[in-house]
Every structure is written in structure tokens, then in C-alpha cells.
């Protein structure tokens, strides 16, 4: 078995003491009930995976306007908060630690998937060149309403309130989703942000919304319980920029000055359509490390050997594992022991019910074992 001296060593990240550097990355599973209320099924799902050093729960909308897809959960109503409390209690009872990823999809939305009366919004009135799966099939994303300055301030407030709601629901902290072509990423990228005010223009102006959201969330729940996720150089949901290196250097340096508990970046292998905006292949982890001096989580395509290598070389402090956790609820133990991994069934990634969600078994040797 490979040397995993660092992968399975403890780490302090902000206010949390992690027993290992193995993180369950956030993954949309589309298992929520009506009105964005998580189902009890999700308590079983996350508790099954509590042996991870840390769980970052799925992207969760901060408001009705923040929803873009079917059956995704929210964290902005009392019913949603109460349902999430059942889930966090189950994870904590199983000995785990869990954060909630805060999400606003911006222009990547469709009215069939949102609550009545809510709008599709973005930094500018430019539609994303994507189609959205809805109850009546695939439909083009509509042109969004361009947020006014007052509406931007209100949205920043929505992020802060969602963070407070997450703490009320029993989460150990939050992660701001600022990648993958959703609202914050739309502000970052020049082709989605044509604003001429303080939230547009150069890379610093387009990063302002990201920084303000981070500041507001940290003020609400503490910097030591706030992480941020970016997808540097990736192409997803129609975003692009003429100079992504300058953009993300600026954005990440600004986050470094704010000092959140960690930064989470996604390798290009799993970001969007697996293409890059850079002229040559970019090592996203190393690029991010050049500009961020705090705790860094990297995710995407890692196995046990490559994960340990990234840790040993100082490229990362934590490793996020996404799809391997779908079919391997005891993934941390399997990695530590060098055991074979089960393969997830792609057809059930986003379907309703328990199949492909809570029916992947843990290995017998994992029973009562803490990885």
C-alpha cells in the first residue's frame, strides 16, 4: 500500500479539527422535496459518509431566485432549516463534521424550476448559452434581469443570512460556491459581466462581488467557519474571459487578504466540459497556491497516490473526492487500506428516491471503524 502519512493525518482548518485530509466534495444529487426542503433520505446518505475528514454538503440555494435546477435544496425558509437539522444531527451522531455550500445559480436558471414570482438574475442581461432540464424537458436559459446596485447589496445580505441559517441548522460552517459559471462566477467573467459600475470593468471590479459576499459571510458566522470554492480556468455554463490568469490571480489574492478558513479549487479534469481558457494546460492547484497562503483544498481526479503526492509537495492541505463517494460511503477507509472502489451508476446520479443514493453498501470491515 502507498504511503499515506499526510492524507490520513489530522489537520486544523479554521475552527475545525479534522481527523484526516480526505474531504467529501459537494455534489448535486437532486433528491430534495417540494419547495427545496431536504428529505429524511439525505440524513441517511450523509451519515453513511461521516467517516470523511470533512463533508461539504451539496450546493444549496440561498433564496428562491438562487434556484436553477429541479429538486435542489434551499436554506432560506424555516422548513428547510428544520429539515437540514435532521441531517446535521445524523452526521454528528455518526462522528462527522459537515459544512453547507451556499449557492446562487444566477442566470443558469429556468422559471419552471423556481418558485412562482422569482426571477432569473445576473450581473448583466446576457443569457447563458445552455439548456436547463425542467419538468417539461430541456429549455434554453432565459436572459436574466441585470441586478441593480441595491439588488446586489440585498443578494450579499442573502448570502449572509443563509450562512446564519446554516449555523442554526447545525452545520459546522459554510462554503461559498463561487465557481462553475454560477452567479459569483458570472460576475468574475468578462463575457457575462458587461457592467460599467464598481462591479464591472477590470478584474478587480469584477471580483468585488465575490469579496463582498466573503466579507459578509465571514462577519455573519466567522472567518474560521467560512470556505470559498472557485473553478479557475474552467469553462462551464457559458462563462469565459480574455485573460483568466490575471482574473483569478486578482480574485485569489483578494481572498488571501480576507483570510477565509480555506480555498477550494477544482482541477480542470472535472471542471465543466474539461476544456480550459488558458493557452496551455494549467495546474490549477499550483496556480492557486502561488496566490493563496491559507489552507487549500483541491478536488478532481485524485487517487490515493496523487492525493498524497499533492500533500507532500505542499500543493494542497486537503483533497476533495466527489464521485468516488457516491458508490463508496466508506471511501476514506477503502483508500487507507488500498481496497478496490465500487463504481457509481451514472443513470441514478440525479434521479429521485433511494436507488443509487443510499443503497451502496459499506464493506463489512468498515462497520464500527472510524477512518
Sign for the pseudo-dihedral over CA of 213, 215, 220, 223: positive
Cβ pair 61, 104 in contact under 8 A: yes
- 159 catalytic per annotation: no
53 to 10, 40, 364: CA distances (angstroms): 8, 23, 20
User: What gap in Å lies between CA 126 and CA 240, rounded to an integer?
Assistant: 13
User: What gap in Å lies between CA 13 and CA 17, rounded to an integer?
Assistant: 6
What lies within 8 Å, CB to CB, of 32 at 6+ separation is 38, 39, 42, 71, 72, 73, 74
User: What gap in Å lies between CA 20 and CA 91, rounded to an integer?
Assistant: 16
325 to 166, 333, 334, 359: CA distances (angstroms): 23, 11, 11, 12
Tell me the backbone φ, ψ of residue 58, rounded to 5 degrees: -55, 155
Number of helices followed by number of strands (H, E) in the chain: 10, 14
HSE, CB side, 13 Å, CA atoms: give it for residue 123: 28
The Cα angle at residue 280 between residues 277 and 282, in degrees rounded to 5: 75
Catalytic residue among 45, 182, 302, 360: 182
The end-to-end CA distance of the chain, in Å, is 16
* Cα 27 versus chain centre, distance: 7
User: What gap in Å lies between CA 301 and CA 370, rounded to an integer?
Assistant: 24
DSSP 163-204: HHHHHHTT-S-EEEE--TTSHHHHHHSTTT----STTSSSHH
Q: Locate cell 486537503: which residue?
A: 318
Q: Which residues are catalytic?
A: 182
Amino acid at each position: 500500500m502507498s504511503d499515506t502519512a499526510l492524507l490520513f493525518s489530522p489537520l486544523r482548518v479554521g475552527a475545525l479539527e479534522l481527523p484526516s485530509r480526505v474531504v467529501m466534495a459537494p455534489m448535486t444529487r437532486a433528491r430534495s422535496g417540494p419547495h427545496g426542503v431536504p428529505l429524511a433520505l439525505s440524513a441517511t446518505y450523509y451519515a453513511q459518509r461521516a467517516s470523511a475528514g470533512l463533508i461539504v454538503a451539496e450546493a444549496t440555494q440561498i433564496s428562491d431566485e438562487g434556484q436553477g435546477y429541479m429538486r435542489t435544496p434551499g436554506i432560506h425558509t424555516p422548513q428547510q432549516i428544520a429539515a437540514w437539522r435532521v441531517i446535521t444531527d445524523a452526521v454528528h451522531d455518526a462522528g462527522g463534521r459537515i459544512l453547507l455550500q451556499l449557492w446562487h445559480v444566477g442566470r443558469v436558471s429556468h422559471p419552471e424550476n423556481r418558485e412562482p414570482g422569482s426571477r432569473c438574475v445576473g450581473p448583466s442581461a446576457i443569457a447563458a448559452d445552455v439548456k436547463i432540464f425542467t419538468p417539461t424537458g430541456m429549455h434554453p436559459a432565459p436572459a436574466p434581469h441585470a441586478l441593480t446596485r441595491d439588488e446586489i447589496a440585498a443578494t450579499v445580505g442573502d448570502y449572509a443570512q443563509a450562512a446564519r441559517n446554516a449555523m442554526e441548522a447545525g452545520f459546522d460552517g459554510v462554503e461559498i460556491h463561487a465557481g462553475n459559471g454560477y452567479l459569483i462566477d458570472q460576475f468574475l467573467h468578462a463575457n457575462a459581466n458587461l457592467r460599467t459600475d464598481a462591479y464591472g470593468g477590470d478584474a478587480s471590479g469584477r471580483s468585488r462581488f465575490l469579496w463582498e459576499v466573503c466579507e459578509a459571510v465571514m462577519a455573519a458566522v466567522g472567518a474560521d467557519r467560512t470556505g470559498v470554492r472557485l473553478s479557475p480556468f474552467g469553462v462551464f455554463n457559458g462563462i469565459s474571459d480574455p485573460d483568466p490568469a490575471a482574473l483569478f490571480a486578482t480574485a485569489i489574492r483578494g481572498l488571501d487578504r480576507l483570510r477565509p478558513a480555506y480555498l477550494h479549487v477544482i482541477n480542470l479534469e472535472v471542471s465543466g466540459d474539461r476544456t480550459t481558457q488558458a493557452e496551455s494546460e494549467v495546474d490549477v492547484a499550483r496556480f492557486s497556491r502561488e496566490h493563496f497562503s491559507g489552507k487549500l483544498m483541491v478536488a478532481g481526479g485524485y487517487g490515493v497516490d496523487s492525493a498524497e503526492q499533492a500533500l507532500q509537495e505542499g500543493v494542497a492541505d486537503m483533497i476533495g473526492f466527489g464521485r468516488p463517494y457516491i458508490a463508496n460511503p466508506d471511501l476514506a477507509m477503502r483508500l487507507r487500506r488500498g481496497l478496490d472502489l465500487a463504481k457509481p451508476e451514472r443513470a441514478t446520479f440525479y434521479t429521485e428516491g433511494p436507488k443509487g443514493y443510499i443503497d451502496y453498501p459499506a464493506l463489512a470491515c468498515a462497520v464500527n471503524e472510524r477512518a
